[in-house]
Structure 1
Amino acid sequence: MTSPPPASPELTGLPDGELLRLDHQVCFSLQAASRAFGGVYREALKELGLTYPQYLAMMVLWEHGPLPVRSIGERLHLDSGTLSPLLKRLEVAGLVRRERSARDERSVVVHLTDAGAGLRERALPVPRTILAATGLSVEEVLALQETLGRLTASLSQAG
């Protein structure tokens, strides 16, 4: 049996009852920030006709080119039950096409269409819009990403 992780120094001196306060929950802070990000992204992506998860999938394809669905899912930490309908909607919108792999017909490879590739140019302002909305400097955002990466790795290992 594994022992619980040590409490952070800020919380060590708090009585157990205080630990149950909502404002002491990192998970709640992350959830609130995620919801706030969702609102900003919804507005920023409206002109592109994309949802935030669709935008993430498009970013992976813009960065890496054609990929198997499985690789996209791994990169986005999404299971196929979530990813497949998302990719289907992108296909219906004419932004991607899905094809069975010639090497392994069990695998489906996702390709950008010309329209999907062209959407990249229109998406270029989105990251700067989001960065400005955070009110953080580039250095602060990079430090936050590094901290969240460590947090994700620790939680994945603990789970």
Structure 2
Amino acid sequence: MKRGTTLFLKMAVILIGIPVLALGIFGVTWLTKNPANPEYAHILYPIVIGMYVSVIPFFGALVQAFKLLGYIDRNQAFSELSVKALKNIKFCAITISVVYAIVLPFVFMVAELDDAPGLVIVGMVPIFASMVIAVFAAVLQRLLQEAIDIKSENDLTV
């Protein structure tokens, strides 16, 4: 693979991380200081804590994606390091899903108090999005492991 393609993907990974970092620093802290309705501000705290906790595996997955692109640059795409990076991405995505599944009852309480049933659907988006990423990473991990096994088997027969 050409270095330009992986450079573009590395820039995309960085550009994905910048808005999340900015929202984590400015957006969520602003939300805690200025709730829409002060009556249920206490319910927002578990949601905000869940959002902050989910940032840790999110950036862990971005780091692993960056490493994976580095392995591709160094022609080590078919290695155990790549399989391990995909395994870590899968684990991070599952962790994000679990965190948001724990936060979802609090989102439901806010939706019920605010009479906004669409908020529950919006609260489920991160759960399903990260599960899609986890499944995709698991499929890629399995395919890559099988390709490595076939490659090592062919190396032994020659």
TM-score (structure 1 length as normaliser): 0.28
The structure with more helix, counted as a fraction of residues: 2
Structure showing greater relative contact order (alpha-carbon pairs closer than 8 Å, 6 or more residues apart): 2
- Structure having the higher strand fraction is 1
